[in-house]
Amino acid sequence: MGVYTVVVTGASGSAYGMRLVEQLLSRGHGVTVIFTEAGRQVTAYELGFALPENGAREALVSFLQAPSDGRLRVVRDDDIFDAVSSGTRKVDAMIVCPASMGFIGSVAAGLASDLAERAADVQLKERRPLVFVPRETPLNLIHLRNMTTLTEAGAVIVPAMPAFYSKPRSIDDLVNFVVGKVLDVVGVEHDLLKRWDGA
Ligand SMILES: Cc1cc2nc3c(=O)[nH]c(=O)nc-3n(C[C@H](O)[C@H](O)[C@H](O)COP(=O)(O)O)c2cc1C
Protein backbone atom coordinates (compact mmCIF):
# COMPACT_ATOMS: atom_id res chain seq x y z
CA MET A 1 0.00 0.00 0.00
CA GLY A 2 1.10 3.58 -0.63
CA VAL A 3 2.42 6.25 1.69
CA TYR A 4 1.09 9.76 1.14
CA THR A 5 1.47 13.22 2.66
CA VAL A 6 -1.47 15.63 2.55
CA VAL A 7 -1.03 19.29 3.46
CA VAL A 8 -4.14 21.38 4.17
CA THR A 9 -3.38 25.09 3.82
CA GLY A 10 -5.50 28.17 4.45
CA ALA A 11 -7.04 28.31 0.97
CA SER A 12 -10.78 27.87 0.82
CA GLY A 13 -11.85 24.27 0.17
CA SER A 14 -10.84 22.27 3.26
CA ALA A 15 -13.53 19.78 2.18
CA TYR A 16 -11.30 18.73 -0.73
CA GLY A 17 -8.44 17.92 1.64
CA MET A 18 -10.67 16.03 4.04
CA ARG A 19 -12.24 13.94 1.27
CA LEU A 20 -8.77 13.17 -0.08
CA VAL A 21 -7.50 11.92 3.30
CA GLU A 22 -10.69 9.90 3.80
CA GLN A 23 -10.32 8.24 0.37
CA LEU A 24 -6.63 7.40 0.79
CA LEU A 25 -7.36 5.78 4.15
CA SER A 26 -10.38 3.90 2.84
CA ARG A 27 -8.20 2.47 0.04
CA GLY A 28 -5.76 1.10 2.62
CA HIS A 29 -2.99 3.68 2.27
CA GLY A 30 -0.95 5.40 4.96
CA VAL A 31 -1.39 9.17 5.25
CA THR A 32 0.57 11.88 7.04
CA VAL A 33 -1.55 15.02 7.40
CA ILE A 34 -0.11 18.48 8.09
CA PHE A 35 -2.36 21.49 8.64
CA THR A 36 -0.75 24.89 8.29
CA GLU A 37 -1.93 27.27 11.01
CA ALA A 38 -4.17 29.06 8.46
CA GLY A 39 -5.34 25.65 7.21
CA ARG A 40 -6.37 24.73 10.74
CA GLN A 41 -8.33 27.97 11.10
CA VAL A 42 -10.05 27.83 7.71
CA THR A 43 -10.99 24.16 8.25
CA ALA A 44 -12.57 25.10 11.58
CA TYR A 45 -14.47 27.94 9.88
CA GLU A 46 -15.62 26.03 6.79
CA LEU A 47 -16.25 22.56 8.19
CA GLY A 48 -16.66 23.14 11.91
CA PHE A 49 -13.74 20.82 12.59
CA ALA A 50 -11.26 22.42 15.01
CA LEU A 51 -8.04 20.43 15.16
CA PRO A 52 -7.10 20.27 18.87
CA GLU A 53 -3.56 20.85 20.23
CA ASN A 54 -3.59 17.44 21.89
CA GLY A 55 -5.19 14.33 20.45
CA ALA A 56 -5.16 15.71 16.89
CA ARG A 57 -4.96 12.24 15.33
CA GLU A 58 -7.87 10.84 17.33
CA ALA A 59 -9.93 13.96 16.59
CA LEU A 60 -9.34 13.65 12.84
CA VAL A 61 -10.06 9.90 12.89
CA SER A 62 -13.34 10.65 14.60
CA PHE A 63 -14.24 13.56 12.26
CA LEU A 64 -13.53 11.44 9.15
CA GLN A 65 -15.04 8.32 10.72
CA ALA A 66 -11.85 6.62 9.58
CA PRO A 67 -10.40 3.34 10.85
CA SER A 68 -8.19 3.90 13.90
CA ASP A 69 -5.48 1.43 12.88
CA GLY A 70 -2.40 3.64 12.87
CA ARG A 71 -2.28 4.45 9.15
CA LEU A 72 -3.13 8.09 9.82
CA ARG A 73 -0.52 10.43 11.27
CA VAL A 74 -1.26 14.06 12.07
CA VAL A 75 1.94 16.06 12.39
CA ARG A 76 2.40 19.65 13.52
CA ASP A 77 3.71 22.09 10.93
CA ASP A 78 6.41 23.24 13.36
CA ASP A 79 7.66 19.68 13.94
CA ILE A 80 10.67 20.02 11.66
CA PHE A 81 12.14 16.78 13.06
CA ASP A 82 9.32 14.68 11.58
CA ALA A 83 10.26 11.94 9.10
CA VAL A 84 8.75 13.71 6.06
CA SER A 85 11.42 16.43 6.38
CA SER A 86 13.99 13.95 5.04
CA GLY A 87 14.38 12.48 1.58
CA THR A 88 15.28 9.16 3.22
CA ARG A 89 11.57 8.71 4.04
CA LYS A 90 9.89 7.27 0.96
CA VAL A 91 6.67 9.15 0.21
CA ASP A 92 4.79 7.96 -2.88
CA ALA A 93 3.16 11.36 -3.44
CA MET A 94 2.52 14.57 -1.55
CA ILE A 95 -0.63 16.56 -2.23
CA VAL A 96 -1.24 20.13 -1.06
CA CYS A 97 -5.04 20.30 -0.97
CA PRO A 98 -6.28 22.97 -0.95
CA ALA A 99 -3.17 25.00 -1.76
CA SER A 100 -3.05 28.70 -0.92
CA MET A 101 -1.23 31.15 -3.15
CA GLY A 102 0.99 31.93 -0.17
CA PHE A 103 2.06 28.31 0.18
CA ILE A 104 2.62 27.97 -3.56
CA GLY A 105 4.77 31.10 -3.49
CA SER A 106 6.85 29.80 -0.59
CA VAL A 107 7.53 26.45 -2.25
CA ALA A 108 8.26 28.10 -5.61
CA ALA A 109 10.82 30.28 -3.81
CA GLY A 110 12.36 27.24 -2.09
CA LEU A 111 11.83 28.64 1.41
CA ALA A 112 11.28 25.33 3.26
CA SER A 113 10.56 27.39 6.38
CA ASP A 114 8.30 24.85 8.14
CA LEU A 115 7.58 21.13 7.91
CA ALA A 116 4.99 21.33 5.11
CA GLU A 117 7.16 23.55 2.92
CA ARG A 118 10.23 21.40 3.62
CA ALA A 119 8.31 18.20 2.76
CA ALA A 120 7.28 19.76 -0.58
CA ASP A 121 10.88 20.81 -1.22
CA VAL A 122 12.00 17.24 -0.49
CA GLN A 123 9.53 15.78 -2.99
CA LEU A 124 10.92 18.09 -5.67
CA LYS A 125 14.58 17.43 -4.90
CA GLU A 126 13.97 13.67 -4.79
CA ARG A 127 12.02 13.92 -8.07
CA ARG A 128 8.96 12.39 -6.41
CA PRO A 129 5.33 13.29 -7.17
CA LEU A 130 4.09 16.59 -5.77
CA VAL A 131 0.58 17.85 -6.53
CA PHE A 132 -0.92 21.26 -5.75
CA VAL A 133 -4.68 21.84 -5.73
CA PRO A 134 -4.82 25.66 -5.83
CA ARG A 135 -7.95 27.67 -5.06
CA GLU A 136 -7.89 31.33 -5.89
CA THR A 137 -9.61 33.61 -8.36
CA PRO A 138 -8.74 35.78 -10.19
CA LEU A 139 -5.06 34.93 -10.51
CA ASN A 140 -2.38 37.58 -10.65
CA LEU A 141 0.87 37.31 -12.60
CA ILE A 142 2.81 36.29 -9.47
CA HIS A 143 0.42 33.36 -8.86
CA LEU A 144 0.72 32.26 -12.49
CA ARG A 145 4.51 32.55 -12.50
CA ASN A 146 4.81 30.60 -9.25
CA MET A 147 2.66 27.79 -10.63
CA THR A 148 4.77 27.75 -13.79
CA THR A 149 7.93 27.51 -11.67
CA LEU A 150 6.48 24.57 -9.74
CA THR A 151 5.45 22.84 -12.96
CA GLU A 152 8.93 23.35 -14.39
CA ALA A 153 10.36 21.85 -11.18
CA GLY A 154 8.25 18.70 -11.66
CA ALA A 155 5.06 19.38 -9.68
CA VAL A 156 1.57 18.93 -11.10
CA ILE A 157 -1.07 21.64 -10.68
CA VAL A 158 -4.62 20.27 -10.38
CA PRO A 159 -6.81 23.35 -9.88
CA ALA A 160 -9.91 23.01 -7.74
CA MET A 161 -12.11 23.41 -10.81
CA PRO A 162 -15.05 21.01 -10.74
CA ALA A 163 -16.65 20.24 -14.11
CA PHE A 164 -20.35 20.49 -14.88
CA TYR A 165 -20.65 17.94 -17.69
CA SER A 166 -20.89 15.37 -14.89
CA LYS A 167 -24.20 17.03 -13.90
CA PRO A 168 -23.37 17.51 -10.19
CA ARG A 169 -26.37 17.58 -7.86
CA SER A 170 -24.62 18.38 -4.59
CA ILE A 171 -21.52 19.91 -3.03
CA ASP A 172 -20.35 16.36 -2.44
CA ASP A 173 -20.46 15.70 -6.19
CA LEU A 174 -18.33 18.80 -6.85
CA VAL A 175 -15.81 17.83 -4.17
CA ASN A 176 -15.66 14.24 -5.45
CA PHE A 177 -14.91 15.39 -8.99
CA VAL A 178 -11.87 17.42 -7.93
CA VAL A 179 -10.58 14.77 -5.52
CA GLY A 180 -11.13 12.08 -8.17
CA LYS A 181 -8.91 14.04 -10.58
CA VAL A 182 -6.23 14.32 -7.88
CA LEU A 183 -6.35 10.57 -7.22
CA ASP A 184 -6.07 9.90 -10.96
CA VAL A 185 -2.90 12.02 -11.09
CA VAL A 186 -1.27 10.12 -8.22
CA GLY A 187 -2.46 6.75 -9.56
CA VAL A 188 -4.79 5.76 -6.73
CA GLU A 189 -7.89 3.72 -7.59
CA HIS A 190 -11.23 5.32 -6.73
CA ASP A 191 -14.83 5.51 -7.84
CA LEU A 192 -15.46 9.16 -7.02
CA LEU A 193 -16.33 10.25 -10.53
CA LYS A 194 -18.18 8.84 -13.50
CA ARG A 195 -15.79 8.58 -16.43
CA TRP A 196 -16.80 10.25 -19.66
CA ASP A 197 -17.69 7.75 -22.34
CA GLY A 198 -19.29 10.14 -24.80
CA ALA A 199 -22.51 12.15 -24.75
C1 LIG B 1 -11.91 32.20 5.02
C2 LIG B 1 -10.63 32.33 4.26
C3 LIG B 1 -10.54 31.88 2.97
C4 LIG B 1 -9.36 31.99 2.24
N5 LIG B 1 -9.33 31.51 0.96
C6 LIG B 1 -8.18 31.56 0.27
C7 LIG B 1 -8.11 31.00 -1.04
O8 LIG B 1 -9.07 30.46 -1.57
N9 LIG B 1 -6.91 31.03 -1.67
C10 LIG B 1 -5.79 31.57 -1.11
O11 LIG B 1 -4.73 31.55 -1.75
N12 LIG B 1 -5.84 32.15 0.13
C13 LIG B 1 -6.99 32.15 0.83
N14 LIG B 1 -7.05 32.68 2.09
C15 LIG B 1 -5.87 33.35 2.64
C16 LIG B 1 -4.88 32.40 3.28
O17 LIG B 1 -5.48 31.67 4.34
C18 LIG B 1 -3.68 33.19 3.80
O19 LIG B 1 -2.96 33.75 2.71
C20 LIG B 1 -2.76 32.39 4.67
O21 LIG B 1 -1.70 33.21 5.12
C22 LIG B 1 -2.19 31.20 3.94
O23 LIG B 1 -1.29 30.54 4.82
P24 LIG B 1 -0.79 29.08 4.53
O25 LIG B 1 -0.33 29.03 3.13
O26 LIG B 1 0.34 28.90 5.52
O27 LIG B 1 -1.89 28.14 4.84
C28 LIG B 1 -8.23 32.59 2.83
C29 LIG B 1 -8.32 33.04 4.15
C30 LIG B 1 -9.49 32.94 4.84
C31 LIG B 1 -9.56 33.45 6.26
- SS (HEC) of 17-40: HHHHHHHHHHCCCEEEEEECHHHH
pLDDT, average across residues 9-18: 98
Cβ(74) – ligand 1 distance below 6 Å: no
Contact predicate 174/168, CB 8 Å? yes
Question: Distance of alpha carbon 169 from its chain centroid, rounded?
Answer: 24
C-beta of 39 in contact with ligand 1 (< 6 A): yes
Within 65-165, residue ranges assigned H as helices are 101-108, 115-125, 141-152
**Residue 97 in contact with residue 17, Cβ under 8 Å?**
yes
Q: What spacing in Å lies between the alpha carbon of 95 and ligand 1's midpoint? A: 17
Q: Is the CB of 36 under 6 A from ligand 1?
A: yes
Q: Count of CB atoms within 10 A of residue 15's CB?
A: 19
Residue 43 pLDDT exceeds 90: yes
CA of 13, closest atom in ligand 1: 8
pLDDT in tens, 93-105: 999 999 999 999 9
Q: pLDDT value at position 48?
A: 98
Q: Return the pLDDT at 172.
A: 98
The whole-number pLDDT of residue 68 equals 82
pLDDT tens digits, one per residue of 160-190: 999 999 999 999 999 999 999 999 999 999 9
Does ligand 1 come within 6 angstroms of the Cβ of 45?
Answer: yes
Ligand 1 pocket check for 38: Cβ under 6 Å: yes
Backbone φ and ψ of 56, nearest 5°: -60, -40
Report which ligand 1 atom has the smallest distance to the Cα of 104.
25
